[in-house]
A and B are shown apart, each in its own frame.
Chain A
Amino acid sequence: MKAFCNTIAQLLKKLPALSLSFILAFVFSAALACGPGLFEDDARFCLFRPSTINYPQLSAMQYSQKLFHYFNREDFESENTINCKEWQQVTDKTVSYNDIFNLQYHTSPDSFLAAYQAQKWENFNGNSFVKWLTAKKNRRFLEYFATAKAIERTQDITDKGWGHYFHKVETSTLDSLKQVCYTRYKKKLPAFLRLRYGFQFLKCAYYAVDPNDQPKIDEVFKTLASNSSITSQWAYIYYALLQQENLQQAHYLVKAFDICDAKKYRAFSLLSVATLDTLAQTTGDHYIRVMARAIAAMKNPGRSLQDIQFVFDNDPANKYLPLLITREINKLEDWLYSPEVLYFQPFLAENYFTTTVDDPVRYNFEYDKKYLEEFLEQLLRIQRFKSTTFLNIAVAHLYNMSHQHSSARDILFNMEEPVVKEERISFLLEKLFTIVNSKPIQADEVKNEIAALVEKLGKLDDAERYYSPYYSYPAGGISSVLLYLSRKYQALGQTVIAGLLYEKAGIRTNEYIYPPYGESNFYGFISYFEKYAGPEDIDELLKLKHKTNKTPFEQMINPAIWGQDEIYYDLKGTLYIRRSDFASAMEAFRKLPDNFWDTAYEFKAYLPLTSVSDVEQIISFPTGNQKKYTVASKKQVVADVLQIETLLQQAKTNQQKALYTLWLANARLNISYFGKAWMLYAYGKTSNEPSGPGDSYHFAYYYINPNNTNNTENYYYLKDARRLYEQALQLAKGDNELSARCLLMLSVCDEYQHAFDPAESNSTSTGPYRSPFKKELGRLYSKTKFFETVAVSCPDVKADAIGSR
């Protein structure tokens, strides 16, 4: 009884959300105790792939809910690479690129300068670049390199201790180096060196500011800006930073962004939206105005149609339009699809017809749909100007999003399949998306069409990159389409196909579903089906598993790893238990060996060995039929329930009926969230149940999906248990001892039923809910032996029963 009291007290208090999850198949990392830490883009659905064919440097500017999109620096040539290649060119390619890179970027200034000053290069033996530099004819290049390292040393504090962070850069040294650089820039040196000295001068001028340098700065910049070396790109950034006036600085940063591929990211990060807006409004330079609007649009997480229109109207061939268009499409996908497909926010589908247009979710959805139409119109206008592969696919995508699938189909099916791989992938993905939306996906020929496209996509070299959401999430692509397809099949009730597609997509959604990652991963094989399937679906699943001549579509959805048949039969039986169909559950469990639950998953720890009719763990009083199970086994528990049902059917007297009904009620209570046999019904347990999808960050928590096959009214709200306790109490009239037992269990059930009531759990003024049946127990049956025993072991019940609390 004390255990019961403590259990009730714990359940009825509003505890911090500590998870009691026993689920082991934990593919995604999550902080269970405090809720998962999602990155913003994890909750974003994306189908349309960014186009980065010509400008991989623009990856950082793709739409993201983070400040910058994830990007891989190895996708484009960095400034370091360009610099080293230019040096290599100067050496007539007689020097190894790696040697140049190491000396330039992995050699500390101190070690190089020490060797230079002593003219002792033993430590650099084996470095072909040092060998080249130290050749007599290359003296001037060596001299430059030493100067560059000396400048680098003024900013290198890694060996000087953390205190050095607070000390100014050694400006006196920089001043003299600045003069040296300018002097040599003016000399008759090879162009390569002059440009580099010029750049170093600008750099020194930035760190060692002297207003008198301005004419020299302008002069040097003019020379550097007009050449094609990497020094030009560096010069742009430094020249911009050297501008005293904010808008002037922005002016040059905008130019740097446009001209300097290797410095796009740097320039982008230095520009603020406010400054860009002011620059666009005040500049008389048409080019700068357009660029400022374009860059501002790249920084805008909201609607950018006006900026896109402006850019197009003023520069129809602007090279950033594809980026801006892609961003806008990705935003619309985020606004319109993310909730519906990923379930991370309360989604509209369930309550579309019950909410008014004033409801923010509905309001925003309608607003975004309207924006989609406006944007499509604009894109068609752009497409009429110049039809490109990218634009055609983009238009088709927007047609699909606005459910004009035949228009999308017309565009795509009249296009030649592109030759360029990235365009080809986009084209095939869009075709797949179109088919999913415009054809009957249940038809065999359509399924095979889908399979053919997926296979084609799979063969493209970097399809895996777009297949896996973890490489560069969410980059769009096939994973997203497969998840989208999964949702479509689920809406048609095709649970097996939906589940296998869901696993294949491998995208995290706001559900406690984890695809299997290995043969030993029990729960992964059934996590989707546990949520959505009925017993009949499991039959279909097994049939597919064992089918030998699978169609192309079936091959496509066929998992790489299947679970053992027993795992699916266990689920089938469990799904029958959820329907309160114990006879059918038994049929399913008969296919499993008796010791299955003793060795599989975590069943042994959480299936009872004492009869399910016994609630001694709650009321510390012997109850039920006192049966003991020989091993942890769903089969034995179900057999026990069936036997009690038979006894009830055969019972002759009310007293017998009352007793067996009480046992059945106990069994139903035990096979619930609150009982000792909860693992007959569920595969995990948390303290956040039964919130279900629709709450934020729910996916880390296990819950029973209240779909058509799952009777959560019994698992969380004890509907049948309550009914049976009331029946038992009625039948037990005249037998005070038995009535007392029934009434106490009814009060227990009653209090459990309030455990998930938000009104109760939020109430701080009245304390936890106390069942009025306890008072009735005290009023009617305080003289029974049963009550006396209970009163001793649980003073709280006694106190409630006699009204002393």
Chain B
Amino acid sequence: MDVVWSGEKQQPTPTAITALSTPNPITGKSLIPVIFINNEVIDKADSTQLQELTINLLSAAHGFMDKMGKPLAELQIDCDWTAKTRDKYFLLLQQLKQSSPATTYAATIRLYPYKYERQMGVPPVDYGALMFYNLTSIKNPEEENSIFTYKASSQYRRSGPYPIPLKAILPIFGWYAWFRNNDYKGIVYESPDLTGLPFCTRISKTKFRVLKDTVINGLYLRNGDILRNEFPDTKDLSALNKNLDNLLPGNNEVIFYHWNESFLQHYSTAIKEITGP
């Protein structure tokens, strides 16, 4: 689920709640619920609301795991905190731990706070989930791939280990960044390869040009528009994987984001290579 700030109610509000089907499709596997908290929530919540939020987060996590018929062993919090919201966010994480000490806690960490830990702090959790995706600006028409390139991730090398254990989250998702005359128009969600589709033609390794006006998912693509494939290159993922031992010494676990049948198929070879036999 996500937590956003409700301007109307002036409080944190849950949204995008996962709809669970029955029977439970994930049997025999361990589950870790992840809750995304919009940074605005941390910024605007006062201390009482942070306390309530702690209770609500645990209630949501327990409710979810009850539904799945499993105990709450671990909880991951996803929040793009800033230097300004750092202290309050870390306080929230501490409160979670205090309220449910038996639970293992993880927090997502972007590459920027990973590199600039002095400014951004280290979240007080049992381990961090290092996000190797959404690294650069999607709006830049010169960008190769705003989700992930090995080169972009290399800019965040740090000297010395990170103070808490880390697990890498590798991207196995993608989309198309849509441009018109170098203006960013939005994201087009389509399958990883548009080759052969009649409305566009490949003009480079990652770019397709729209040949005729087409409506896709309610978006009006026009002749001349450019779609930039942002599905991470498997070679880049492989390169990162090879370096993970250096980047995250002692790490023996990789997380993939996110679960989607067609993406899993597309990246099946890469996943097998990364996870090993």
Contact = CB atoms under 8 A, between A and B. Distances in A.
A161 B56 contact: yes
Contacts, number: 83
A10 B61 CA distance: 49
A273 B17 CA distance: 25
A696 B59 contact: no
Given A34-B137, A273-B218, A360-B181, A161 B59 contact: yes
A164 B59 CA distance: 8
A165 to B, nearest CB: 5
A361 interface: yes
Interface residues of B, number: 33
A701 to B, nearest CB: 14
Point out which of A35, A165, A346, A363 has the most chain B C-beta atoms below 10 A from its C-beta: A165
B14 A162 contact: yes
Given A302-B215, A363-B223, A167 B67 contact: yes
B53 to A, nearest CB: 10
Nearest to B139: A35
Interface string A300-314: 111100000000000
A364 B222 contact: yes
Contacts of A361: 181, 224
A346 B55 CA distance: 51
Contact of A367 (B183, B184, B223): B223
B213 A162 contact: no
A20 interface: no
Nearest to A334: B220
Interface in B60-87: 60-64, 66-67
B220 A164 contact: no
Interface in A153-177: 161-167
Given A162-B56, A165-B17, A301-B218, A345 B181 contact: yes
Contacts of A695: 182
Interface residues of A, number: 28
Contacts of A697: 139, 183
B180 interface: yes
B1 interface: yes
Interface of chain A, helix or strand or loop or mixed? loop
Contacts of B218: 67, 273, 299, 301
Given A34-B137, A360-B181, A165 B60 contact: yes
Given A163-B60, A360-B181, A302 B20 contact: no
B57 interface: yes
Nearest to B63: A163
Point out which of B61, B219, B224, B225 has the most chain A C-beta atoms below 10 A from its C-beta: B224
Point out which of A67, A164, A696, A697 has the most chain B C-beta atoms below 10 A from its C-beta: A696
Contacts of B63: 161-167
Nearest to B180: A345
Contacts of B56: 161-162
A303 B222 contact: no
Interface string A333-357: 0000000000011100000000000
Interface in B1-15: 1, 14
B60 A166 contact: yes
A166 B1 CA distance: 10
Nearest to B35: A162
Nearest to B57: A162
A183 B42 CA distance: 50
Point out which of B66, B213, B214 has the most chain A C-beta atoms below 10 A from its C-beta: B213
Given A166-B20, A696-B182, A360 B66 contact: no
B1 to A, nearest CB: 7
A161 B56 CA distance: 6
Nearest to B20: A166
A166 B224 contact: no
B66 A163 contact: yes
B224 A363 contact: yes
Interface in B215-274: 215, 218-220, 222-225
A34 B136 CA distance: 11
A713 to B, nearest CB: 25
Contacts of A162: 1, 14, 56-57, 59-60, 63
B59 A360 contact: no
A406 B56 CA distance: 67
B215 A163 contact: no
Interface string A363-379: 11001000000000000
Nearest to B212: A367
A165 B2 CA distance: 12
Contacts of A696: 181-184
Nearest to A34: B137
B219 A301 contact: yes
Contacts of A34: 137
A302 B199 CA distance: 14
Point out which of A34, A302, A303, A359 has the most chain B C-beta atoms below 10 A from its C-beta: A302
Interface in A273-305: 273, 299-303
Contacts of B17: 165-166
A397 B158 CA distance: 62
Point out which of B57, B60, B218 has the most chain A C-beta atoms below 10 A from its C-beta: B218
A364 B224 contact: yes
Contact of A345 (B14, B64, B137, B183): B183
Contacts of A165: 1, 14, 17, 60, 63
Given A301-B218, A301-B219, A302-B213, A163 B224 contact: no
The 8 closest A-B pairs by CB, nearest first: A360-B224, A163-B63, A162-B60, A696-B183, A163-B59, A301-B220, A161-B59, A166-B63
15 contacts: A161-B63, A162-B56, A163-B63, A163-B66, A166-B66, A166-B67, A167-B66, A273-B215, A273-B218, A302-B220, A345-B181, A361-B224, A363-B223, A364-B223, A696-B183
Given A163-B61, A165-B63, A361-B224, 19 more contacts: A161-B63, A163-B63, A164-B59, A164-B63, A165-B17, A166-B20, A166-B60, A167-B63, A273-B218, A301-B220, A302-B220, A346-B182, A360-B223, A361-B181, A363-B224, A364-B222, A367-B213, A695-B182, A696-B184
